[in-house]
Amino acid sequence: MKDHLIKIAAFFLIIVLLDEVTGLVFSHLTGCAHSGDTARNEYICNRTSEDILVFGSSRAIHHYDPAIITDSIGLSCYNCGQDGNGAILNYGRFHLIGQRYHPRIVLYDVMPLYDIYNGEDNCKYLGWLKPYYGRDGIADIFEAVSATEKYKMISQMYRYNSRFIQILGDCLRLAQDDGRNGFQPLEGEFDHMKINPSETMEHQVDSLKLSCLCHMIDEADDETRFVFVVSPSWYGMEEGLTQPVKELCDQRGILLLDFSQDPKYVHNDRYFVDGEHLNAVGAKEFTCDLVAKLKAVTGQGSFSTTHCQRGHRSP
């Protein structure tokens, strides 16, 4: 019996040591990543210093061109958008950034499913924050999402278990500075096969997501200006779908720029790759329209024509 207990204890000790070593190794590799989403996430959480930051889901990362924003407004810009994520991840990232500095302008692209309403399990939005669980305030976000997460996060392997291959790949690939500052344009033409039949969304507000948006606003200092934006979609957008964010903006005195019903974009195949995402041409057009509106309402910057040649574009 004694030998049996010793073997069991030794087995669990090996598991604990393996877990700790794996965590240390992948924590180091995460910080050393040269490319890909691993390096991008590390840069956003630990090294951004730009004046303007863009937050949001895939519609943020694919719609907002920092080069045009910088050229037009005269302030540095980085795109912090992330595919398939919304307010929960964005608040965590903004919280980490706020421990280092406060940007001058935050452009937040609103996607109702990810920023306002109940949808998938909110635990999926914690993935990119797991490596920073030990940082001040991040554990509170995990606790708000699920009380069981604090027990799972005891395991160091759990913090990286869905991204082992990705982290290794991002470390082995040579660094590639594409000069796009986080922006990932979508190339190609509109594909009608990617149009989904219109579905009625259950408008059940997710209080946690709205709370995360409020925390972002509250944690900004007085010199940070928030601007919420609803970027174009091929479908347009159901009227009232963004009402909770409109009310939030009214309460907090925040500018909201809504392009969801802009006839220039709705059902205009030229600017989209699918029903929700602009292609590279559409992203350039939209970013130019956005900075023109920003200048009109803020008086910020002197508009440059380097990137936005309005006289040579199709209507």
Alpha-carbon span 57 to 63, nearest angstrom: 10
What's the confidence (pLDDT) of residue 308?
Answer: 67
Pairing label, strands 225-230, 255-258: parallel
Alpha-carbon span 144 to 160, nearest angstrom: 21
Domains of the chain: 2-312 (3.40.50.1110)
Q: What 3-state class would DSSP assign to 102?
A: coil
Alpha-carbon span 77 to 70, nearest angstrom: 6
What's the confidence (pLDDT) of residue 218?
Answer: 95
Q: What is the pLDDT of residues 158-180, one digit of tens each?
A: 999 888 888 888 888 765 556 68
What's the confidence (pLDDT) of residue 212?
Answer: 97
Q: What is the pLDDT of residues 118-132, one digit of tens each?
A: 988 999 999 999 999
What six digits make up the tokens of 1? 């019996």
What are the φ and ψ backbone dihedral angles of 185, each rounded to 5 degrees?
Answer: -70, 150
What's the confidence (pLDDT) of residue 314?
Answer: 35
Q: What is the DSSP string of 215-236?
A: HHHHHS-TT-EEEEEE---TT-
Residues of the chain under the 70 pLDDT cut: 174-179, 197-202, 297-315
